């Protein structure tokens, strides 16, 4: 946490609480944080947890469309001293343990110049593959990280970002941006200031009680304070949900091989029987196996249809088939195709 450790509260929590509130605003608005350039998706947060005990400890940010998480430490007035070393201790241990963690060091404008300019610029350059002409403060950081394990200090440093947040002063840029986003998602835009204060106060409680917030709980929080989201919020949430669903159903796992294949192309088309087939209930194991294989022969009959067409255009469809016949994959492919066409699909 800012200016200390633990979850005991105090003035040092102001930066941490406002950072958590800022993430909450982005959760509600669906806007990316822009803290990290990501190849596969944008860094749109879906939940935030305080005092997690993770490498960031202050709070953890969960993101849409990816398993990458942001572990955040918020530090006011940071210099290249023992507090920086303590932060690096937490970061290094977490980065070694979890390759999907990215650590964010959030500082305020009172941080020392070497931190604000030299370290910030060098960390950005390291992520771009540049290792030349590093400033003394960065070289010191890399030497310190190198003492924490066998991993390459430069590789670990590429998963650390530093950002300056001017969020505590009333006309601060990040605060103004948060208010702008709130005005877009609230039914009454004039309640933006009240909503921001509510989110900051709630963040203080999250820190004290080690809580978690997502879009649903944040909406309930605001509603309990007579601050309601605009109906248009659903018009932005639904497309993002369909985009997420289309992405997460785009591949399927081949059991035993651990290989993921594209569901649109690596697909064996299944057939559905077009009329009722009466079959006796098998009495023995051999008869059951023979009955199971009989369905494959029947699928080549004249009165059979594409199972994909049946699931997409049928009003109420129950998918029945033997183990390994492809029922789950058929349903996943159907969800993928319907989401891609903008249909309402509920993933259970």
pLDDT digits (tens, 9 = 90+) for 145-187: 888 765 688 888 888 899 999 887 777 788 899 999 999 999 9
Burial of 163 (0-12, 13-18, 19+ CB in 10 A): middle
User: pLDDT of 93-120, one tens digit each?
Assistant: 888 888 889 999 999 999 999 999 899 8
60 beta partners:
49, 71
Percent of the chain residues topping a pLDDT of 70: 82
Give the per-residue pLDDT at 18.
Answer: 94
CA trace torsion 118, 123, 128, 134 (10° rounding): 50
User: pLDDT of 64-82, one tens digit each?
Assistant: 878 889 999 999 999 988 8
Residue 268, classed as helix, strand or coil, is coil
Burial of 117 (0-12, 13-18, 19+ CB in 10 A): middle
Q: Which of 162-176, 197-211, 224-238 has the lowest mean pLDDT?
A: 224-238
Mean pLDDT of 9-27: 83
- Residue 95 contacts residue 132 (beta carbons within 8 Å): no
Is the pLDDT higher at 6 or at 253? Answer: 253
Taking 90 as the threshold, does the pLDDT of residue 245 lie above it?
no
Mean pLDDT score of the chain: 82
Is the pLDDT higher at 135 or at 154? Answer: 135
Q: Which of 7-11, 68-72, 103-107, 228-232 has the lowest mean pLDDT?
A: 7-11
- Gyration radius from the chain CA atoms: 26
Residue 274, classed as helix, strand or coil, is coil
Residue 295, classed as helix, strand or coil, is helix
Mean pLDDT of 330-334: 87
């Amino acid at each position: 946490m800012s200016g200390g450790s633990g979850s005991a509260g105090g003035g040092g929590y102001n930066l941490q609480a406002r950072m958590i509130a800022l993430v909450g605003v982005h959760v509600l608005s669906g806007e990316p944080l822009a803290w990290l350039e990501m190849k596969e998706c944008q860094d749109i947060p879906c939940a935030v947890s305080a005092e997690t005990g993770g490498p960031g400890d202050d709070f953890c940010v969960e993101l849409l469309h990816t398993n990458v998480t942001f572990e955040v430490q918020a530090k006011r007035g940071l210099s290249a001293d023992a507090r920086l070393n303590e932060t690096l201790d937490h970061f290094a241990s977490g980065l070694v343990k979890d390759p999907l963690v990215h650590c964010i060091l959030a500082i305020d404008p009172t941080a020392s110049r070497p931190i604000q300019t030299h370290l910030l610029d060098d960390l950005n350059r390291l992520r771009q593959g540049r290792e030349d002409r590093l400033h003394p403060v960065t070289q010191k950081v890399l030497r310190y990280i190198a003492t924490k394990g066998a991993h390459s200090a430069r590789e670990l440093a590429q998963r650390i970002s530093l950002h300056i947040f001017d969020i505590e002063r009333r006309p601060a840029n990040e605060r103004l941006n948060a208010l702008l986003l709130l005005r877009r998602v609230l039914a009454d835009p004039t309640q933006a200031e009240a909503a921001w204060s509510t989110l900051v106060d709630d963040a203080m409680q999250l820190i004290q009680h080690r809580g978690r917030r997502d879009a649903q709980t944040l909406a309930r929080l605001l509603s309990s304070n007579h601050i309601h989201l605009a109906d248009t919020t659903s018009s932005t949430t639904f497309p993002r949900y369909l985009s997420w669903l289309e992405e997460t159903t785009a591949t399927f796992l081949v059991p035993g091989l651990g290989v993921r294949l594209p569901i649109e192309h690596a697909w064996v088309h299944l057939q559905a029987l077009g009329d009722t087939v009466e079959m006796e209930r098998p009495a023995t194991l051999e008869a059951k196996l023979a009955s199971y294989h009989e369905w494959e022969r029947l699928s080549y009959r004249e009165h059979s249809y594409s199972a994909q067409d049946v699931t997409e255009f049928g009003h109420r469809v129950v998918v029945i088939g033997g183990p390994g016949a492809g029922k789950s994959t058929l349903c996943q492919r159907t969800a993928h195709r319907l989401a891609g066409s903008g249909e309402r699909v509920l993933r259970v």
